[in-house]
Structures are given as structure tokens and as C-alpha cells.
Amino acid sequence: MSKAVAAPPSGRRGRDARRAERAKTSSVSIPYITRNIPLTELCHSEALDIIETNAETVLEEIGIEFRDDEETLTLFREAGADIDGTRVRFPRGLARKLIETAPAEFTQHGRNPKRNVQIGGDHLVFVPVYGPPFVRDLEGGRRYGTIEDFENFVKLAYMAPSIHHSGGTVCEPVDLPVNKRHYDMVYTHIKYSDKPFMGSVTHPQRARDTVDMCRILFGTDFIDDNTVCTSLINVNSPMTFDETMLGSLKVYAAANQATIVTPFIMQGAMAPVSVFGTLTQALAEAMAGLALTQLVRPGAPVVFGLFSAALSMQSGAPTFGTPEPTLVLSAAAQLARRLKLPFRSGGSLCASKIPDAQAAYESAHSLAPAVLCGVNFVLHGAGWLEGGLVSSYEKFVMDIDQLAMMEVLCRGYDTSENGQAMDAIREVGPGAHYLGCAHTQANFETAFYRSTVADNNSFEQWQTEGELRTVDRASKGCKEMLASYQPPPLDEAKDEELLAFIAEKKASFPDSNVA
């Protein structure tokens, strides 16, 4: 197969014109995706009933640990839970009942209102990689991340039309003191992007600092009524919330800011090795944390999150792109919908050390289920490498191409008269070809997604151009993006106020690298 046919219209001039046109259209960004295709639901509803029943048993019989936080225990006691030391047991149905006040979807505002995202319902928001201490690129190899790398990933996410959110810890800037780097991280999101972002969760005070910076940026009145920050609260699975995460959760919920309550599970270590066991425990954990947000502030926006990876029983490392996490993901998304809550999972996950075939297989088999199964907030949408230890520049550029394809997929079918193309079929008829027909001429510029990374040239041309690998093309694309970055305008008075706030805060206590 693979007969090459001439491209219409041909010639250098046509090619330059098309390239210019493409450059123009590819920068047209939509703020988020609204899906127009049915959901993939891999788990039958009777099976979901079993998980829900078992999760209630976990909540009632075993309970959840809420450590070193008297206020939380008091809130649960007053709501009718049974408190035994730091163990909270929930009468059947209580947690589910408490969650009812949470909104099914909410708007997270960006400082540019055109970038507001809708989280929940039929919507998808693609968010960059979160958390890696290392970065990697083709020339520099693997090294600790710095604030410069952090800025670069924020810039890339800002420029990528298929990324809807600036994310949070796009990499860990380890060149800054642990107890102060959050100021620079939040400021970088504000300064170098105008997309919505995530706040600091590594200490309740850092969550407060994030909210204070949001008050400066958006105004105090605005943020009390509106959500401008969505932050990640990981559960210490199994069945434990610690003081740090609880503190941050309460700060954000009290300020009407969104949290993503996320059981963080390596199956076989933090939860049972079985898919159903993992789902049961994760549902119980999530429901307990979600209920707490509503006790702190009924109606506070919240997202049901789940991060699950199968553990390699050989190396002890997490694995990705395998079938078990896909089964977990689909059922968890269904459980979240039954709770009428937005759902968050991972996007382009992989264990590979380099952005090669393994990385791509694993990432694709993580991203496709996330999109098809109806994840609303797709964290780690781009840049994730090596089980989340590395933010990769080239992988980021490869992944944003994949995310853009998912956006087209979610548009579904064009059933219009032009889409039906009956005139074209009549015009061409048997045995002829469609290259020159009116319908092709009118539609070929937009008919197919055009990859920004794939090489679709002939073998001979690819050979002439140096037999480049995908990673080589992505490296080139990444450098071009960063070279052409233009910052979005930021109100000067607000910028000064933010910088003054940070300077004052930073001067008020000594640097420390203790987490």
C-alpha cells in the first residue's frame, strides 16, 4: 500500500501559503474541550454497586485516619461520624450525603477571562505534568530542575493551544529554598502565563500564601465568590490523611478554592493488587476527603481524583500504560459521575527513562482511556517521563501534539451537508480520484489533523533530511517555541504588589530546605 499521490495544489508557492495558513490556525486555542462523543464505560453498573457497597463497609467498619488535626475530628464528630482517637468511622451513607453540597461542575477563572476553564460535566481540561524533581532534554540529559526550567515549562504550556491550564509544580525548582520556592512558582504561573493554575500544598501556610497572591491578582471580593485556584490534595493511601494535606485542603476549601482529593495509589503497595480492591479503597478515601471539604464550606468546589499505577513486583517501580490502570480509570470515572462530581486522573503517563517507543505506547494507552472514559481534569497531560521523576522538554512537545488530536476526536462527527459530501461522491464517481474535486479543494486545509511532530514524508525525503527521530523533531520544535515566546501583558500595579508581597514574606523568615 502507501501509494503516494500528488498534493493539491502543488509547488513551492502553494506550500508556503499553506504553511503560513497552518501557523495561523494552529495558534487558535479553545479554552477547554466540550466532548461531543459518547462516554466509554468499561464497568457494568451492577459491578459499580458492589464497589460502592464495599466502600461504605470500609468507611463504616475500618474507617479513615485523620492525623494531627483536632479541628477535622471535631467537624466529623459534629457531622455524625464515630471518632476513635484519630480514626473516623462513617455510618453508611453519611459521607455520600455530605458530598451532595459539592457542585457538579465549576468555573476556574484565569487572569485572562478568555482562559477560564469549566471543570466537570462534558468538559475536559488538559494540564501539564506535575511534580518531577528532575528535567531532561536532548542536549543536557537528566538533571535537577531549576526555576529556569520551571519558567520554561510554564511558557511552553502557555503557548501550547492544546493545554488549557498552567498546572502547578511543572517541575520542582530545587535551586530555590524549599520553604520559599512556592512564592516563585506561583508568581511564575501568574507572570508568564494567563491560564488558570494550581496552588501550593506542601504546607498550610504556603496554601495561605497562594490564596493571598490570588487576592492581589483577582481582588479579595472576587475570589470569595469565584474559584481561581485548583490544588492537588493527595491521600496518604491506605486510608490516611496527614496534617500537611489536611491543612492545605481546609485553607483552600474555606477560601472557596478548588481541591482535587486524590488517592495516590501504587496497586500492591498502597492498595490491594486487585482492580476492584483498589477501586473500593480509593472510593472510600476520596469520599472521606471530599466530605471534609463540604464540612469546611458547603458548596466548595472539589474534584474526585485518582492516581493509580500498577507496581512492578520485580523492581518495585510503578508501571504505566498497562490494562489494569485503564480498568481502574474507567470505573473510577463512572463512580465519580455517580457522585455527580468532576473527575481527575493522569494523562500522558509512562515509566520510560527516555521519550522513545516505550514512553509513547504507555502515554497513548494512558491518554486515550482518560479522554474516552470522560476524565474532566487531565493532570500530567504533557511532559511526564520516568514515572513522574522527570519533566521532559521533548516529551512535552510530543504530548501536546497528542492532546490536540484528542481535541479533534472529542468534536465527533460532522453530519452537515458539507460533511456528508454527497456532491463530491456524485462529482467524482467510480474509478476517478478526489484530489481535485471541489469538495476536496474547499476542505483539505482543515479536513485532517496535522501533526506538529510526526514525519509523514516519503522514506527518501526522511533519509535526505538526516533520518531524524521523533525526539529530534520535538527538540527542534521546543526550541522554536521558547524562542518565539511572548509574555501575556500583566497589570503593572498588580505585578508590583505581588513582587512587594513576595519580598516582604521572603524577608520575614530564614531560608530552609527542610520540607
Q: Residue holding cell 504561573?
A: 189
Scanning 73-81, 203-211, 246-254, 387-395 for contacts with a copy of itself by CB under 8 A, the matching segment is 387-395
Q: H/E element holding 378?
A: strand 377-379
Residue nearer to a copy of itself on the CB measure, 151 or 172: 172
Q: Residue holding cell 479513615?
A: 64
- Which residues between 178 and 237 bind a copy of itself (CB under 8 A)? 236
Q: Which of 81, 157, 428, 498 binds a copy of itself (CB under 8 A)?
A: 428
- State yes or no: residue 451 binds a copy of itself (CB under 8 A): yes
- Which residues between 285 and 314 bind a copy of itself (CB under 8 A)? 307, 310-314
* Total site size for a copy of itself, rule CB under 8 A: 140
- State yes or no: residue 266 binds a copy of itself (CB under 8 A): yes
d(CA 139, CA 142): 9
Burial class (CB in 10 A: 0-12, 13-18, 19+), 110: buried
Residue nearer to a copy of itself on the CB measure, 101 or 322: 322
Q: Which of 456, 484, 486, 508 binds a copy of itself (CB under 8 A)?
A: 456
How many C-beta atoms surround the C-beta of residue 15 within 10 A?
A: 12
d(CA 475, CA 454): 13
- State yes or no: residue 338 binds a copy of itself (CB under 8 A): no
- State yes or no: residue 43 binds a copy of itself (CB under 8 A): yes
Q: Which of 414, 480, 496, 511 binds a copy of itself (CB under 8 A)?
A: 414
Nearest-approach distance from CB 286 to a copy of itself, in angstroms = 15
Scanning 105-113, 185-193, 403-411, 479-487 for contacts with a copy of itself by CB under 8 A, the matching segment is 403-411
Nearest-approach distance from CB 4 to a copy of itself, in angstroms = 4
Nearest-approach distance from CB 40 to a copy of itself, in angstroms = 4
Q: Using alpha carbons, list the distances in angstroms from residue 140 to 134, 149, 360, 394, 476.
A: 12, 12, 21, 12, 14
* Contact present, 115 and 167 (Cβ < 8 Å): no
Instruction: Single out the residue of 145, 76, 152 nearest to residue 487, CA to CA.
Output: 152
* Residue at 21: amino acid letter: E
What DSSP designation does 386 have? Answer: G
Nearest-approach distance from CB 203 to a copy of itself, in angstroms = 18
- State yes or no: residue 169 binds a copy of itself (CB under 8 A): no
d(CA 328, CA 142): 31
Residue nearer to a copy of itself on the CB measure, 213 or 421: 421
Q: Which of 25, 34, 74, 274 binds a copy of itself (CB under 8 A)?
A: 274
Strands (E), 75-145: 82-84, 87-89, 105-108, 117-120, 123-126, 134-137, 141-144
- State yes or no: residue 443 binds a copy of itself (CB under 8 A): yes
How many C-beta atoms surround the C-beta of residue 236 within 10 A?
A: 16
- State yes or no: residue 332 binds a copy of itself (CB under 8 A): no
Instruction: Single out the residue of 197, 162, 171, 152 nearest to residue 391, CA to CA.
Output: 171
Q: Which of 73, 81, 185, 239 binds a copy of itself (CB under 8 A)?
A: 239
Q: Which of 38, 85, 489, 510 binds a copy of itself (CB under 8 A)?
A: 38
Q: Which of 144, 218, 434, 501 binds a copy of itself (CB under 8 A)?
A: 434
Q: Which of 201, 213, 275, 370 binds a copy of itself (CB under 8 A)?
A: 275
Residue nearer to a copy of itself on the CB measure, 213 or 404: 404
* Residue at 205: amino acid letter: Q
Query: For a copy of itself, what does the binding mask look like between residues 346 and 385, x meaning CB under 8 A?
Result: -----xxxxxxxxxxxxxxx--xx--x-------------
Q: What share of the chain is helix, strand, coil (3-state, %, to 5)?
A: 45, 15, 40
Residue nearer to a copy of itself on the CB measure, 102 or 405: 405
Residue nearer to a copy of itself on the CB measure, 274 or 512: 274
What DSSP designation does 431 have? Answer: T
- Which residues between 134 and 153 bind a copy of itself (CB under 8 A)? 142
* Residue at 98: amino acid letter: L
Instruction: Single out the residue of 171, 87, 161 nearest to residue 134, CA to CA.
Output: 171
Q: Which cell is 407 given? A: 481535541
